Structure 1
Amino acid sequence: MAAQVTLSAPPRTAFYNDPVIRGIIYQILVALAVILFFAWIILNTAQNLAAQNKSTGFDFLFQTSGFGISFTLIPFDRSSYYWQAFLVGLLNTLLVAIIGIVFATILGFVLGVARLSSNWLVARIATVYVEIIRNIPLLLQLFFWYFAVLKAMPAVRQSYELPFNTFINQRGIIVPKPLPDSEMTFVIVALVLAIVAAIAIVRWAMSVRTATGHYPQPVVWGSLFANLLITFGFGFVAGSLLTGIFPALSGIVGFPLIAGAVLAGISLTPYTRFGRAFIGFVLTWAVMAFLLEGMFAFVPPMVIALAAVLTAAAVAWIMIKGDGRPATEGKFPLALAVLIIIAVPGLVYWLTGATLNFEVPILERFNFSGGVQLVPELVALVFGLTIYTAAFIAENVRSGIQAVSKGQTEAAASLGLREGDRLRLVVIPQAMRVIIPPLTSQYLNLTKNSSLGAAIGYPELVNVFMGTTLNQTGKAIEVIAITMAVYLTLSLTTSAFMNWYNARVALVER
């Protein structure tokens, strides 16, 4: 007789033992707890404000502020509203953040590459800079630039005069104010189109060189012409400066023209780097002598002259050691791009008859009239944020470059690429995927650190809105909430842009 097998259903378990359902239940409970917590905070705050006879709302934004602001990008006076004060603080914060990010990025990349330079002097200078700056608190650096440097400048009547009618004193930096006419609109449009065209030409030339190993012949000839013109221009300026340093040279008729022509001719020979080094030597010598004479008038002239010459010699030596490639490689598209960006707007400026005048600052009895005054608070904050953040960006750049496999550099060298080309074409593009994530954090830090401007009196968002506005209106919750929302929006916007850019440069897997 065959045995009969009876199949029974598996034992049923409680629904809350299902991992998926249990996870959903936990999430719902946590969400309810968070909602109840914030609801309790809001109700408790409302009850406390009602007990103190304090009203809530944002109607205060449309009340008259009754105070002035020292530096504004838009018109503002005591009769303006609180929302206008908020806008002034926001614009001042954005101004500092944008300028600081641009200059900190440029300086940080230069220092990061310099730390890995084969030139001992360049690498040591970059290392000393990074190790000193990043280990000193930012607030202390802001105090140094504001109180020890800018506030130690002379009074208005003893202002230091810099080139191009620029003056610096205790009240800040006074620069000429541009006064463009209506025709300058065409020049600006031409400048934008020239930049786009220059970028397109460079990208096309680089793609052709990647595919064939050589730049297109039109680009080569155009770059030779551009290199000649640019070198001639710098040589002319260097010759003019030399006639000022050595008056005996002024007896030579057309000496600046001769100097420009000779240096332009040298740029066509294998000794082009010596011509560029000479131009760098003369320009550095003239600039350093001018600055040192203005800032250290009490120092003997011989000491100032010696310091200027030594600095210029160091710059020339660095240029010679760091640029060893002949004139037929690498830099041609850059020279052509520079010429396009300069020549196209200049031609439009000449054809349209546009006029760009400048309102020159004029020293009167108590202050300068005319021009644009950059208050010392703005200068100190931008300078401090740039110097400080650049030290951390430099470390990000250095670590990103070192993260690239040495085999990539060796392979590039085996193809005949020189050090500068290896870095620009092979190493940096691969290092960007390592550099960008921490670089985003530095951008966010710089934007948020701009709030330290309140310590030196710069009218940014925290100083104007969370400081003066909050004290006058007593709307602590509303003011703090708006300020937090602004910084959160700036941070999320910056992160979104950098994440998009990071996705563009990331390696694509097949």
Structure 2
Amino acid sequence: MVSNSGESKQFNLKQLLRDDRFWKIAFQIITLAVVIAILGYLLLNLSTNLSKQGIDFGFGFLSNPAGFSIGESAIEYLPNDPYGRALFVGFVNTITLVIAGIILATTAGVAAGVASFSQNWLVHKISRAYVGLTRNIPLLLQLFFWYFAVYGVLPTPQEQLNLGGLVIASKRGVYVPWPASSGFLMWLGILVALAIAAFFVWQWRTKSMVEQGDSGQTQLMILGAIALAGLVIFAFMLGWEAPTVQEGGGATGGLRLSREYVASLTALVFYTGAFIAEIVRAGIQSVSKGQWEAARSLGLPSNLSMRLVVFPQALRVIIPPLNSEFMNLAKNSSLAFAVAYPELYSIANTTFNQTGRPIEVFLVLMATYLTINLIITLGMNTLNQTVQFKER
């Protein structure tokens, strides 16, 4: 009986060692153990070196008064506020730059990518020249170009440019219309809720048309009502306020965008938009020519063929690499410190110079950028799932 039990155990061990599933799991466990061992060694080495210098690792310094001012802040900040709030100001400034950059870069990239298929010779050449020129010039040089050569030559506030009473530009910055309603956040929340409702109604329409063969007219009417309500809220309920010119220069009202912010945003939009344009062009080219011919056989003009037939199919190819470009834009926003825009890296640089805590500050930096990129990835993966073919 003992001999048979030993042979059975030996047989099971041989069978286990020949199982690919065992080796896949074992390899992951070994890799995790190696990574933990390396990190443990590095942390031990770090702790030893810090203790030799009489420095205790920790984040308690974030509650100490910062003692420095920030030139531009989207939220209230005073020099006596703690370092933690100063870093949060930098985070908010970065987020405003990233969100506006993603929206505008996507718009510019899609427009340039679609324009590359235009039958108009001039539009096609402008699109290709923009992409070829912008992609091959470093972002930092483009940042300096917009800051010094474009916005740096704007007139003084006494001779500022007034574009139809809607946009006022000078060396001090650019003033644009901005909502002044006391219930701005409430109406903005309603707009977001309407957008989410429209998304689910569109999913409902697609599912009913594919699975049940419905015309989708009911859902289309609901989408039209949602769009009309959103347009009314956006146009009339937000209380838009245009900037007003002051005597002697300057302006009041509206939203002031500093020269540093506008230059950083413009450089990020044009640079990232060029890469997005190539992604859009590749996605459109991935759609078979038969789809174009089918659309033309139905009598659809080129613009409707692109909007209703080709572009929706191209989204399955466009969205995955678009995620990478959005993350690159978020990381490239750290270059804005070169033109003195107080984004997260700029304020973090000042913080660790004053506190002598580079390790803790850079850990905060890495965690923040990682979180931003994970949120972008989560959103893009969710969007990607909605445009993929659903097998039945």
Please state which band the TM-score falls in when normalised by the shorter chain: 0.7 to 0.9
Instruction: Pick the structure with greater CA Rg.
Output: 1
Aligned-partner residue type, residue 266 of structure 2: F
Separation (CA, whole Å) in 2 of partners of 1:193 and 1:11: 62
Q: Paired residue for 2:355?
A: 473
Note closer, same or farther for the CA distance 1:45–1:452 as it changes in structure 2 (3 Å cut). same
Contact 1:190 1:345 in 2 (8 A): no
Contact 1:167 1:175 in 2 (8 A): yes
Q: Paired residue for 2:172?
A: 171
Q: Paired residue for 1:383?
A: 266
Note closer, same or farther for the CA distance 1:369–1:407 as it changes in structure 2 (3 Å cut). closer
Separation (CA, whole Å) in 2 of partners of 1:209 and 1:379: 45
Contact 2:241 2:253 in 1 (8 A): no
1:160 shift after superposition = 1.3
1:91 shift after superposition = 0.7
1:41 shift after superposition = 1.0
Query: What whole-Å deviation, never above 9, does each CA across 1:367-415 have from its counterpart, x for those lacking one?
Result: 5555532111100111111111111111111111111111122122222
Separation (CA, whole Å) in 2 of partners of 1:177 and 1:501: 29
Separation (CA, whole Å) in 2 of partners of 1:192 and 1:26: 45
Separation (CA, whole Å) in 2 of partners of 1:459 and 1:422: 45
1:339 shift after superposition = 5.8
Contact 1:208 1:215 in 2 (8 A): no
Q: Paired residue for 1:18?
A: 17
Q: Paired residue for 2:93?
A: 92
1:177 shift after superposition = 5.7
Contact 2:166 2:242 in 1 (8 A): no
Q: Does 1:419 align with 2:302?
A: yes
How do residues 30-69 of structure 1 correspond to structure 2 at under 5 angstroms?
Answer: 30-69=31-70
Aligned-partner residue type, residue 17 of structure 2: D
Query: What whole-Å deviation, never above 9, does each CA across 1:414-455 have from its counterpart, x for those lacking one?
Result: 223222222122211111111111111100100100000011
1:35 shift after superposition = 2.0
- Match of 2:153, SS state, is coil
Aligned-partner residue type, residue 142 of structure 1: L
Note closer, same or farther for the CA distance 1:499–1:90 as it changes in structure 2 (3 Å cut). same
Contact 2:172 2:258 in 1 (8 A): yes
Separation (CA, whole Å) in 2 of partners of 1:397 and 1:85: 39
Q: Paired residue for 2:158?
A: 157
Contact 1:194 1:345 in 2 (8 A): no
Contact 1:201 1:337 in 2 (8 A): no
Separation (CA, whole Å) in 2 of partners of 1:33 and 1:25: 12
- Match of 2:105, SS state, is helix
Separation (CA, whole Å) in 2 of partners of 1:481 and 1:43: 16
Query: What whole-Å deviation, never above 9, does each CA across 1:286-306 have from its counterpart, x for those lacking one?
Result: xxxxxxxxxxxxxxxxxxxxx
Q: Paired residue for 2:320?
A: 437
Aligned-partner residue type, residue 399 of structure 1: A
Q: Does 1:486 align with 2:384?
A: no
Q: Paired residue for 1:127?
A: 128
- Match of 1:173, SS state, is strand
Note closer, same or farther for the CA distance 1:175–1:344 as it changes in structure 2 (3 Å cut). closer
Q: Paired residue for 1:449?
A: 332
How do residues 230-309 of structure 1 correspond to structure 2 at under 5 angstroms?
Answer: none
Mean Cα deviation higher: 109-118 or 412-421? 412-421
Once the two structures are aligned, what percentage of the paired residues are identical?
40
- Match of 1:167, SS state, is strand
- Match of 1:180, SS state, is coil
Separation (CA, whole Å) in 2 of partners of 1:213 and 1:25: 53
Q: What TM-score do the two structures reach when normalised by structure 2? A: 0.84
Q: Paired residue for 1:498?
A: 380
Note closer, same or farther for the CA distance 1:358–1:438 as it changes in structure 2 (3 Å cut). closer
Contact 2:69 2:78 in 1 (8 A): yes
Q: Paired residue for 1:229?
A: none
Separation (CA, whole Å) in 1 of partners of 2:204 and 2:34: 58
Separation (CA, whole Å) in 1 of partners of 2:34 and 2:214: 65
Aligned-partner residue type, residue 307 of structure 2: R
1:153 shift after superposition = 1.3
Mean Cα deviation higher: 497-506 or 455-464? 497-506
Separation (CA, whole Å) in 1 of partners of 2:307 and 2:127: 19
Q: Paired residue for 2:275?
A: 392
Contact 2:165 2:242 in 1 (8 A): no
1:139 shift after superposition = 0.6
Q: Paired residue for 1:403?
A: 286
Note closer, same or farther for the CA distance 1:372–1:10 as it changes in structure 2 (3 Å cut). closer
Extract unaligned runs of 5+ from structure 1: 1-8, 220-332
Note closer, same or farther for the CA distance 1:49–1:190 as it changes in structure 2 (3 Å cut). closer
Q: Paired residue for 1:76?
A: 77
1:124 shift after superposition = 1.2
Separation (CA, whole Å) in 1 of partners of 2:374 and 2:200: 31
Separation (CA, whole Å) in 1 of partners of 2:87 and 2:193: 36
1:342 shift after superposition = 4.2
Q: Paired residue for 1:107?
A: 108
- Match of 1:68, SS state, is coil
Q: What TM-score do the two structures reach when normalised by structure 1? A: 0.65
Q: Paired residue for 1:275?
A: none
Aligned-partner residue type, residue 260 of structure 2: E
Separation (CA, whole Å) in 1 of partners of 2:273 and 2:182: 38
Extract unaligned runs of 5+ from structure 2: 1-6
Contact 2:243 2:251 in 1 (8 A): no
Aligned-partner residue type, residue 90 of structure 2: G
Query: What whole-Å deviation, never above 9, does each CA across 1:320-340 have from its counterpart, x for those lacking one?
Result: xxxxxxxxxxxxx98x98765
Separation (CA, whole Å) in 1 of partners of 2:373 and 2:193: 31
Mean Cα deviation higher: 164-173 or 105-114? 164-173
Contact 2:177 2:240 in 1 (8 A): no
Q: Which has the higher contact order (CA 8 A, sep 6+)?
A: 1
- Match of 1:373, SS state, is strand
Separation (CA, whole Å) in 1 of partners of 2:9 and 2:253: 91
Q: Paired residue for 1:148?
A: 149
